[in-house]
């Protein structure tokens, strides 16, 4: 049995994309072949809490890093999966180097920005160059890792949780036309562009899901532009987000800094045509078939105009999107991760 530690949280209420990914993988991994240790702060996802050969370490407010590192050294894992950029990762990897531990490092790179001219974050470079195996969550990011960091990276997509994200059953227009945005309200997500589009289309509902430092700025902008058609829905659970998506008609994501955003896959699974920026080459969207990938802000606006005005086209794109989303199946992706863990352990043992 292979023992794995991941600095990921198993909390049921945690909707962080990176933690969601790990929860879906661990919930499906064979408990006969893999013992997994994760972190948690509150109530854990019952699929993980009830999984055999699973250990959950509670994180406190103080002294968490030394305590967890000590526990890992008492039971040294064979795999350290998905290192992040925090003090826990830095501490354990330093000990790994110092003691020459046989723990295999399996790095998963999901962060965007490698297409920008700035140097990659030091922690990302460390995680890639010290790893036994490196994966990215899409082909474009895999190429960027090779070009910018000098490390070969395979591809492991994020899947879609079909408990929450599936097409709507409605067959008629039983609601006002709705454009949906979902994401953290940070500057690079550009939720203000959603508000500006709402000002252009006063008879269309625009719903913004998420919280963040830009919320008040967006609310002020909506008031200044007289946008009574903008609703701020706040942070939602995965279940509630799926319901929100099934009530919408178009998914609109003007963000310019992404890796491979899961929310585009979730929208596709719910039968939503999506409009996003092409700068990060998202594979959840097939340009012209399941939605549009825009090259500029003007292109974003024109593509939104097309989907708002052309009912049959957006319905057709939504149906194709739902079919395309079936390619991102968590069960198959988990089998690929299991093979990767076994390969990493075998590779590390020969060093």
pLDDT digits (tens, 9 = 90+) for 232-244: 999 999 999 999 9
The answer to whether residue 174 scores a pLDDT higher than 70 is: no
180: left (phi > 0), else alpha (psi -120 to 50), else beta? Answer: beta
Lowest mean pLDDT among 56-60, 140-144, 167-171, 177-181: 167-171
3-class DSSP state for residue 281?
A: coil
Please check whether residues 206 and 131 belong to one and the same domain: no
Confidence at residue 63, expressed as pLDDT on a 0 to 100 scale? 63
Within a domain: residue 206?
Answer: yes
Query: What are the strands, taking DSSP E only, across 110-262?
Result: 133-136, 154-155, 178-182, 205-209, 230-234, 250-253
101 with 209, same domain: the answer is: no
Report the C-alpha gap between 5 and 89 in whole angstroms: 11
pLDDT of 172 over the 60 cut:
no
Q: What is the mean pLDDT of the chain?
A: 94
Percentage of the residues of the chain whose pLDDT score is greater than 70: 97
Give the model confidence (pLDDT) of 277-304 as tens digits: 999 899 999 999 999 999 999 999 999 9
- The token pair at 216 is 């008040």
Query: Helix 87-99 crosses helix 64-74 at what angle (to 10 degrees)?
Result: 40
Do residue 319 and residue 336 come from a single domain? no
Domain assignment present for residue 126? The answer is: yes
Which residues, in sequence order, are bridge partners of residue 38? Answer: 56
| Residue 123, domain member (yes or no) | yes
Please check the confidence at residue 218 and state whether its pLDDT lies above 90: yes
pLDDT of residue 313: 96
CATH number at residue 51: 3.40.50.2000
Domain membership of residue 311 (yes or no) is yes
What stretches of 201-329 show up as alpha helix (H) in DSSP?
215-224, 238-247, 262-269, 297-309, 311-325
- For residue 273, pLDDT over 80 is answered with yes
Phi, psi of 161 (to 5 degrees): -80, 105
What's the pLDDT at 170?
65
Is pLDDT above 60 for 180? yes
Question: Is 60 exceeded by the pLDDT of residue 193?
Answer: yes
Q: Is residue 170 part of a domain?
A: no
Length of the chain: 351
- The answer on 151 and 6 residing in a single domain is yes
Same domain? 60 vs 76? yes
Report if residue 169 sits inside a domain. no
Establish if 172 belongs to a structural domain: no
Q: Same domain for 140 and 16? A: yes
Residue scoring higher pLDDT (113 or 264)? 264
Same domain, 137 and 277: no
Instruction: Report the distance separating Cα 215 and Cα 230, nearest Å.
Output: 12
Under a CB-based contact definition with an 8 Å cutoff, are residues 82 and 3 in contact? no
Same domain for 190 and 140: no
Sole residue written with tokens 């370490």: 57
CB 192 within 8 A of CB 217: yes
Is residue 171 pLDDT above 70, yes or no? no
Per-residue pLDDT, 62 = 62
* 171 lies in some domain: no
Burial of residue 339, with CB atoms counted within 10 A of its CB: 0-12 exposed, 13-18 middle, 19 or more buried: exposed
Model confidence at 4: pLDDT above 60: yes
Q: Which domain holds residue 147?
A: 2-159+329-349
The verdict on 303 and 240 lying in the same domain is: yes
Per the structure, how many domains does the chain have? 2
**Residues 146 and 23 reside in one and the same domain:** yes
State whether 142 and 268 are in the same domain.
no
- Same domain? 108 vs 238: no
């Amino acid at each position: 049995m292979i023992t794995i530690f991941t600095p990921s949280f198993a909390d049921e209420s945690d909707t962080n994309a990176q933690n969601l990914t790990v929860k879906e993988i661990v919930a499906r991994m064979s408990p006969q072949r893999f013992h997994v240790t994760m972190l948690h702060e509150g109530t854990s996802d019952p699929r993980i809490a009830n999984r055999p050969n699973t250990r959950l370490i509670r994180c406190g407010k103080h002294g968490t890093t030394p305590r967890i590192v000590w526990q890992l050294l008492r039971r040294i894992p064979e795999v350290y999966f998905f290192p992040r950029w925090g003090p826990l990762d830095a501490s354990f990897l330093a000990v790994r180097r110092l003691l020459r531990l046989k723990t295999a490092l399996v790095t998963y790179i999901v962060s965007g920005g490698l297409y920008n001219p700035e140097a990659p974050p030091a922690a990302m470079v460390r995680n890639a160059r010290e790893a036994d195996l490196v994966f990215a969550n899409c082909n474009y990011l895999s190429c960027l890792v090779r070009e910018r960091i000098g490390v070969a990276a395979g591809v492991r997509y994020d899947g879609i949780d079909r408990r929450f994200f599936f097409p709507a059953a409605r067959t008629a227009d039983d609601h006002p036309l709705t454009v949906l945005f979902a994401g953290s309200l940070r500057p690079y997500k550009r939720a203000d562009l959603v508000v500006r589009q709402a000002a252009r289309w006063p008879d269309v509902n625009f719903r913004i899901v998420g919280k963040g430092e830009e919320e008040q700025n967006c609310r002020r902008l909506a008031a200044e532009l007289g946008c009574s058609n903008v609703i701020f829905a706040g942070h939602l659970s995965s279940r509630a987000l799926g319901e929100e998506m099934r009530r919408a008609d178009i998914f609109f994501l003007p963000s310019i800094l992404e890796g491979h955003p899961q929310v585009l896959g979730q929208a596709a699974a719910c039968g939503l045509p999506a409009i996003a920026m092409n700068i990060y080459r998202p594979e959840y969207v097939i340009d012209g078939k399941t939605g549009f990938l825009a090259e500029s802000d003007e292109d974003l606006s024109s593509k939104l105009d097309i989907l708002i005005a052309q009912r049959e086209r957006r319905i057709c794109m939504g149906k194709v999107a739902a079919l395309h989303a079936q390619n991102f199946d968590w069960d198959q992706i988990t089998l690929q991760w299991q093979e990767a863990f076994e390969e990493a352990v075998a590779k590390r043992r020969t060093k």
